[in-house]
Amino acid sequence: MMRGSMTALVTPFRNGVVDEKAFADLIERQIAAGSHALVPAGTTGEIPALFSDERKRVVELCVDVVAGRRPVIAGTGVNTTSASVDWQAHAKTVGVEAGLVVAPYYNRPSQEGLLAHFMAIADAVALPIFVYNIPSRSIVDIEVETMAEMARHPNIIGVKDATADIQRVTQYRRLINGDFIQLSGDDASALGYNAHGGHGAISVTANVAPELCAKFQTACLEGRWAAARDLNDTLQPLHDALFAAPNPGPSKYALSLLGLCEDDVRLPLVACSSAVKAQVRAAMESCGLL
């Protein structure tokens, strides 16, 4: 079931290369903590800074380590349609459950172009797609009506919505059949998103606090809103801290405090400032993680 707390995994580095042991250990920690799915090769995984062979290896290693215990949703989108098809085909070959396809960034396509892009990928590869709408990074916003047209394709099964506009949930529900899976891409507004009818989140915070995030999402799925609010109150300082500098710098620093990986990021990202580090540490202490 592709619902609940889905972790947008960091890609750990050591001495300039992907730290495969740390990555495998992070995945095992996620499974033990109750995360509902794993999402490698996304923005939080620093995909723009990975070489193609590293990106393939990250997805393959995640599938191997998970070994069917959880769904794996791999980031497969880039800003050209043909390359996105290739990444989607690779994901299918190695056994992921779905591809996460971002709206083409930098190109600034029209709504017609967006629709044609996603339909071409869905036609080319028989693997489910989550459409990733993140206007803050891609510049273009996939409009509600365009998403509804995409959702007519049987391979387009859901959305990761990082607009932080919780009205979208209801707007989609009015135009798209009830099987369409709506996932928040914004930890801070996930409670409201779920209350409007969302089905979970692809979460950055779950890297650091997987058990709390899994409990929060489970409470939402089960309609235990008082418990969900309490857990959200606990998590909110951590949500804020992990986005106090460009993602995933703060998350990697938090994981380094837990001894789980180095806090290395690749240029053009740089290490967190002292002020951000102090905020992250304080938030972790308030959540009982330190």
Q: DSSP labels for 94-146?
A: HT-SEEEEEPPTTT---HHHHHHHHHHHHHH--S-EEEEE-HHHHS----HHH
Which of 56, 92, 132, 253 is an active site residue?
Answer: 132
Query: Mean pLDDT throughout 134-158?
Result: 97
pLDDT, tens only, 27-46:
999 999 999 999 999 999 99
- Segment 246-264 shows an average pLDDT of 98
The pLDDT tens digits for 257-266 are 999 999 999 9
User: Domain tally for the chain?
Assistant: 1
CATH number at residue 158: 3.20.20.70
The closest alpha carbon to 59, from 83, 36, 85, 27, belongs to 27
- The verdict on whether 160 is a catalytic residue reads yes
Position 241 in a domain: no
Which of 160, 215, 252, 277 is an active site residue?
A: 160
**Residue 132 is a catalytic residue:** yes
pLDDT in the model for residue 178:
86
* Domain membership of residue 69 as a residue range: 4-223
Q: Is residue 132 part of a domain?
A: yes
Is it the case that residue 50 has pLDDT exceeding 90? Answer: yes
Please report whether residue 232 resides in a domain: no
